[in-house]
A and B are shown apart, each in its own frame.
Chain A
Amino acid sequence: MDSGIVQTIYDLKEYLKGVFADNQPEITRNDTSFVAQKRAKAFELFIKTGFPHAALERWRGTDLSRALNHEYHSLTEPPSADLDIDKIFKCDVPHFETQLVTQLNGWYADRNNLVQVFPNGLVICSLATAFTKYPQLIEAHYGKYADDNAEGLTALNTAMSQDGIFIYVPDNVTVEQNIQMVNITDFKQNLFLNTRNLVILGENSHLRLVQCDDSINHDVTFINTVTEVKIGRNSTLDHYKLQNKDDHTTLINSMFFHQDEGSSLSTNAISLNGGLIRNLSHVTMSGSHSSSEIYGLYLMDRYQHVDNQVYINHAAPECESRELFKGVLDDHASGVFNGHIKVHRDAQKTNAFQTNRNILLSDKASIDTKPFLEIYADDVKCSHGATIGQLDAEALFYIRSRGISQSNAKILLMYAFAAEVINKISIPELRQRMDDMVKKRLRGELSQCEQCVLNCSTHEHQKAEFKIDLSKI
């Protein structure tokens, strides 16, 4: 690419156009007229907008051209109903009690049990099933928070996604168990996936949601996920996004959160591995007295690329948002942080704080960080700060002067750097596991796991003695 040799550019857009035209009966099989209308409109938008490119300001730092230049396959049929998901995936985090809901290649995996309704009214089901089973909820929320006009990939998702996970928490329900959404890709050819999720919390409801992205195969995969989340009045959502994909995977993860009055959101994206990861957290605070915490940690090396886009839309008064993103980049890894805070004219008494800190371990690693505050109200407290640096020489010397080797001193400092984000995880078992994984990642012992992002498969085999033993004694 850099040599000036003209490469054959594979036209993915043309391919997807073909898939869309040739598979209408399959693609629209579960659509209500409401969904079908959205789909048709979104497809037109995608054809008009196309894939993002570097000339767009918000894509300036992330070049998708290489990722798009593959022959992909798009699946329009669900996996077999005989599929035994337990054989493919098992989460082994000790004492981590979760209600597991799995997606395989974008499809709701448990084909024999597409709807689960719990005694407290909690619904977990296939999104395709929800289209017809819960039309009122779909019409009230589906496609309402994700903006197809703003982003070609979002439009593509609305046009072509056929399934995903639908979660509904009715009013006044506290979901005691953690819900763990696991998105597995396992296919023998290059896959292009559009998966779509919708999570709705009613009023005074509480949910903890863990989203894991895993791959089993090692083929080239492009995942374009859109998740819309509605957090009703006085409800709370504690959300985690754990990413440990292989270097052949492109993961576009767009989260659209919509918060009503008095609601609280905490979301934490932890990116340990992945060829190209782009996380969008789009948060709209539409009701007063709501709060959002948006955290992220990224540890990238080799030629990996990570892009965190945060857009916080303070549309109501007396809300608070806090952003903390930290990253360590080594080798040729590159990163982008784009933090946009918009405070509307009548969003008085807004508090908005944003921090992005980066450590670059090599002179080839790079980070492009850009805070952007757009403030139309006059009674607000907003701050932003971005730092890029190396490991602190004084701190390294301090640790080494106690007899700790330079390499371990570096790991310790990186761990200390990352710990601030890890410590925000409020589920103790998850925090412990992420803590372990971060240590292993920093020691270079974390391979991309065979199954789950949480399934540290090397754990048992190697009994890796963590020389810097930071575990509790």
Chain B
Amino acid sequence: MLSIRNLRVSINGKEILKGIDLEVKAGEVHAIMGPNGTGKSTLAYVIAGREGYDITEGEIIFKGRNIMDLSAEERACEGLFLGFQYPVEIPGVSITNFLRTAINEQRKYRGLDPVPATEFLARMEEKKKLLELQEKLASRSVNEGFSGGEKKKNEIFQMAMLEPSLAILDETDSGLDIDALRIVATGVNKLRRPDNATVVITHYQRLLEYIVPDVVHVLFDGRIVKSGGKELALQLEEKGYEWIRNES
């Protein structure tokens, strides 16, 4: 699904990612953990195609294709999704219209006709139920006046509607109370399929009580310094990031 090889990224001459290797297979859930400021969000942004980074070395292969030269929208159309740590407010544009536009642009990219309105509405209903979302959410403007929890739920809702092959969730658990966390995690679990994959970026082990990862990576100072099974997350929780710092 996703292969990252020796990815080196700088911003304004400062190297943030210092040679990342990552291999995510279809059907897997990966967790990337690490303290603040170690490059977790940069990694997510670079995979999603945000501009403004100097990629000095390495490559990102997604579904067998090098996506380094693709724009953010092309990557999305190829099946990549980024759940934002800080979702942006778009006043005046309802979630319904935003999603219909996004879905239709993605369909156009794939050579498909726009989604019929009835089918689209049925999908909305289905996903809203799946995520236990309030009825009125979809008619509100994208993220406008949303609480932190609502914004994150809305990210998962967008993910559910867009049905990506690979979803990267950047600190989706931050700022969530237990109920919201449970809903977000349930959503991710329910949307899990043999042909898709999820990368969860998180600071805390807490989310991983709800989303059980196949592989846990520890990102530290721009490098993945440790990878292992879900027990690695527990070890981290127990020993803290100091443990990694001392080992690396």
Contacts and interface: CB of A to CB of B under 8 A. Distances in A.
Pairing of A with B: yes
B98 interface: yes
A473 B120 contact: yes
B88 A408 contact: no
* CB-CB nearest 3 A-B residue pairs: A419-B92, A403-B76, A402-B102
B76 A402 contact: yes
A416 B158 CA distance: 19
A401 B93 contact: no
Contacts of B141: 416
Given A402-B102, A403-B106, A403-B162, A423 B72 contact: no
A374 interface: no
A423 B92 contact: yes
B93 A415 contact: yes
Interface centre among B75, B87, B97 (most CB of A within 10 A): B97
Contacts, number: 99
14 contacts: A398-B88, A398-B90, A399-B98, A400-B72, A401-B73, A402-B73, A402-B102, A403-B77, A404-B102, A409-B73, A422-B92, A467-B105, A470-B97, A473-B97
B101 A408 contact: yes
Q: How large is the interface on B (under 10, 10 to 19, 20 to 34, 35 or more residues)?
A: 35 or more
Contacts of B51: 397
A419 B105 contact: no
B88 A405 contact: no
B187 interface: no
Nearest to B72: A400
A interface: dominant SS: helix
B123 interface: no
A393 B104 CA distance: 23
Contacts of B101: 404, 408, 412, 467-470
Interface string B117-143: 100110000000000000000000100
A99 interface: no
B49 interface: yes
Contacts of B91: 416, 419-420
B interface: dominant SS: helix
Interface of B: 48-52, 71-73, 75-77, 81-82, 84, 86-88, 90-94, 96-106, 109, 117, 120-121, 141, 158, 162
A394 B88 contact: yes
Contacts of A416: 90-93, 141
Given A401-B72, A402-B76, A404-B105, A469 B90 contact: no
Contacts of A412: 90, 93, 98, 101
Contacts of A393: 52
Interface string A446-473: 0000000000000000000001111111
Contacts of A408: 101, 105
B139 to A, nearest CB: 9
B117 to A, nearest CB: 5
Contacts of A403: 73, 76-77, 102-103, 105-106, 109, 162
A429 interface: no
Contacts of A400: 49, 71-73, 76
B244 to A, nearest CB: 30
A373 interface: no
Given A404-B102, A469-B101, A470-B97, A398 B73 contact: no
B92 A402 contact: no
